[in-house]
Amino acid sequence: MSIQRFGKWDFRAVDSTSAARALTRLRRQGAPAEPERAAAVVLLREAPLRVFLLRHAAKEPFGLPQIVRTDLVSVNVRERWAHLDDGAANRRRGPQYGFPGGRYKPDDPDVAMTGQRAVEEETGAMIALQRAWSRWVTPEYEPVRFDSWVYVATLAEGFQPRTRVREPEYATWIGPEQAVCQFGGQMSTPEATTLAELARFATVGEVFAAAEQRDMSPILPRLVVSGDSARLVCPDEEGYPSHPLAGA
């Protein structure tokens, strides 16, 4: 079962008004958009265990709502769901934190190579070892969707990542727990969930050993609305809707 909460952050809470707006969008558009293949790579180093975190001026690669604090569920709802409002493209979003990654390109041999290419393009570094960690699919209500593979990886000897392009605007090595506690509200659900999962481990070896046992079935969150509350529910959890509109 995927992690739902970590520290002050609730990874799944959704403002009920915004949830209703999202479901209305899905009803209007009819069939969900076909998800594009994509990849994101969590670069690891030790000791102690650190991840390479990027800050972008405005980026939400997985198309998921931002995480909310358990004690401040209603804070920044409008900003977090700006993409559901008319004219949202004209409003500036705050900075977002995440990992190197991008869309699959036709000349990529596979989606794993998409991740390696993205790391090289964004940081100038080469990957030594890479393992699949999880696979997230953007909810059906989004007009642009991704089938995103998340990988964990180590760098080839002699390489240090750096920002090579105009975006991202900042990068740092940071512990997984510190990253999600400090920046969880400025990440997508898959990225923050990944960091919360990695916070359980002390070494890169432990992470890679765990990766070998991971279930890579796609995780497609769906909205469940109950009275004044709404949550994203994942396939391995109780109450997961059989249809994207069944939880309304």
Residue 27 has pLDDT above 90, yes or no: no
In this predicted structure, what is the pLDDT of residue 59? Answer: 52
* 153: β partners: 43, 130
Is there a domain that residue 248 lies in?
Answer: no
Confidence of residue 160 (pLDDT cuts 50, 70, 90): confident
Q: In sequence order, what DSSP letters do the residues of 65-96 get, joined into one string?
A: PBPEETTBTTTTHHHHTGGGSTTGGGSPPPPE
Confidence tier at 43 by pLDDT (50, 70, 90): very high
pLDDT of residue 52: 95
Give the Cβ contact number of residue 202 at 10 Å.
12
Residue 52, in any domain of the structure: yes
237/239 Cα distance (integer angstroms) = 6
Q: Is residue 244 part of a domain?
A: no
**Per-residue pLDDT tens digits for 90-102:** 333 567 888 999 8
Residue 88 in this model has a pLDDT that exceeds 50: no
Query: Distance (Å, rounded) from C-alpha 4 to C-alpha 211?
Result: 20
Q: Which has the higher per-residue pLDDT, 115 or 12?
A: 115
Greatest Cα-to-Cα distance within the chain, rounded to the nearest angstrom: 55
For residue 177, the model assigns a pLDDT of: 94
Q: pLDDT-based confidence at 212, cuts 50/70/90?
A: very high
pLDDT of residue 248: 66
Asked if residue 47 has a cis previous peptide bond (ω within 30° of 0), the answer is yes
Whether residue 243 lies inside any domain: the answer is: no
Q: What is the domain count for the chain?
A: 1
**Mean predicted confidence (pLDDT) in 87-116:** 78
The more confident residue out of 5 and 180 is 180
Residue 37 has pLDDT above 90, yes or no: yes
Integer Cα distance of 166 and 164 in angstroms = 7
- Asked whether residue 196 is domain-assigned, the answer is yes
Identify the three-state secondary structure at position 122.
Answer: helix
The residue ranking higher by pLDDT, 77 or 221, is 221
List the CATH number of the domain containing 162.
3.90.79.10
Q: Is the pLDDT of residue 137 over 80?
A: yes
Instruction: Name which of 73-82, 151-160, 196-205 the model is least confident about.
Output: 73-82
For residue 211, is pLDDT > 70?
Answer: yes
Q: Is residue 238 part of a domain?
A: no
The pLDDT mean for the chain works out to 81
| Percent of the chain surpassing pLDDT 70 | 81
Any domain includes 38: yes
Which has more pLDDT, 241 or 229? 241
- Per-residue DSSP letters for 192-240? HHHHHHHTT-SSHHHHHHHHTT-----B--EEEEETTEEEEE-TTSTT-
Asked whether residue 69 carries a pLDDT value surpassing 70, the answer given is no
Q: Any idea which residue has 């991740």 for tokens?
A: 115
Binned at pLDDT 50, 70 and 90, residue 51 comes out as very high
**Is the pTM here over 0.95, yes or no?**
no
Q: Which domain holds residue 50?
A: 5-233
